[in-house]
Amino acid sequence: MKFGASLLEFGKFMESVQAIKQRFGILGNDQKLNRAVEKAIQVAPTDISVLVTGESGVGKESIPKIIHALSHRKHGKYIAVNCGAIPEGTIDSELFGHEKGAFTGATQTRSGYFEVADGGTIFLDEVGELPLTTQVRLLRVLENGEFIKVGSSKVQKTNVRIVAATNVNMFEAIKKEKFREDLYYRLSTVEIHLPPLRDRKEDIHLLFRKFASDFAMKYKMPTIRLEDDAITLLQKYRWNGNVRQLRNIAEQISVLEQERSINAENLKSYLPGIGDNLPAVISDKKKESDFSNEREILYKVLFDMKNDLNDLKKLTLKLMEDGNSKKVQEDNEGLIQKIYGNEEEEIEPEDVSDENLELLQIPQNNPVDKQDKYYFAEEIEEEETLSLQDKELELIKKSLERHNGKRKAAADELGISERTLYRKIKQYDL
């Protein structure tokens, strides 16, 4: 007898689930969808906070409406707030109100949603987008029903039921410190998850038919019908936009297509990224190949950098071995261009052998293998760097003596600018 009674109760409960779905326009017979509606019906008579999760476009806004309509607050106000659409600077004022003069533009006192919805239900959509400062205020409302208006010091009480929804991964947001962990657990006393459309394959064609029928009535035209291959394609598609995207596709086809019978080829033109959204198998061999290509590119970059460094060393060596730096420059113009490039303030030709050589601080007397003009920086002894300066000082002295102190003539002989020579004279106190 008890078993028969329990079956009867279960049958009535399932009947109520179907009735609620029909009342709020929820279409589909997926088990996960039905379970979400069942949880909403069960939790509605209580004042427990509910968090609705799911991807964008799955219809999360229907659950708080069910909860409010079946609760003892159904005669109170129901306010839906899109937290992601309100600017960060004004969201506290929107939710909790403000006093006159609290900020620029606050010409009068304003009541916030928590004050207006006292005794009713507030639906906080995209709650994961709330700023951290607002999260602290919301936590206080959840804990003891208290809030303070912006610009006020008076504590006010409110009796509202909060239902929140989000499409973000809350645990990731908590880990990144974008959402308070204590607030998450206060909001998600009961969590209701709505499945994405791709997990409700049997409902996809049913929903499409309903949307097609609605748009046929709206635009006063025959209802479009999908052929078998189009139905198969519809069910295989990923539907990143979920029910919202499916509805838009149905409307586009209803308005734009002349033929009322739609095949897979017709449907493909309305499904963005059809190749990317269909299931694909990526072999491990392909992944290894991609990694190998990246490694080869990295090796090539490193090899080119090594060659550039060797070219720089080769040029420096030639400058050291040949007293006529102008001739070295002319012979190695391409190499100099490769190393120094085209800068906005180009290095004067006569400065290449002097200023840049000074920056390198390569010793003149460093032993170099004459058969191999390339050498490495680690072979240069730090204590030998003064020999190049001594040589430079000696060359400047000799040139000035030879030209009777005429700086311009001496600079031309040394292959440097007169300005650079003047600086060297001052540096060496000549």
* Residue-range domain boundaries for the chain: 13-195, 198-277, 305-428
- Give the DSSP per-residue string, 9-55: HHHHHHHHHHHHHHHTT-----HHHHHHHHHHHHHTTS---EEEE--
Q: What pLDDT does residue 327 have? A: 61
pTM of the full structure: 0.62
User: DSSP class of residue 377?
Assistant: G
CA distance 167 to 418: 70
Q: What pLDDT does residue 314 have? A: 72
Q: What pLDDT does residue 349 have? A: 45
Q: What pLDDT does residue 275 have? A: 57
Instruction: Tell me the residue length of the chain.
Output: 430
Element housing 82 (H / E): strand 78-82
* CATH code for the domain defined by 198-277: 1.10.8.60
Tell me if domain 13-195 and domain 198-277 are identical in fold.
no
Q: Closest Cα to residue 291, out of 299, 280, 302?
A: 299
Q: What pLDDT does residue 6 have? A: 57
Q: Which residues contact 401 (CB under 8 A, 6 or more apart)?
A: none
Q: Which amino acid is it at 41?
A: I
Helix axes 386-402 and 407-414, enclosed angle (nearest 10) = 130
Spell out, as residue ranges, where the chain has pLDDT lower than 70: 1-15, 275-295, 299, 315, 317-388
Q: Closest Cα to residue 267, out of 276, 277, 255, 257?
A: 257
Q: What pLDDT does residue 370 have? A: 43
Contact 112, 64 (CB under 8 A): no
Q: Is 184 exposed, middle or buried (0-12, 13-18, 19+ CB in 10 A)?
A: buried
CA distance 147 to 138: 8
Identify the CATH class of 13-195.
alpha beta
Instruction: State how far the alpha carbon of 347 is from the alpha carbons of 86, 223, 319, 396, 407, in Å.
Output: 55, 75, 16, 21, 20
3-class SS of residue 98? strand
Q: Report H helices in 145-241.
A: 170-175, 181-187, 201-219, 228-236
Contact 204, 246 (CB under 8 A): yes
Q: What pLDDT does residue 70 have? A: 95
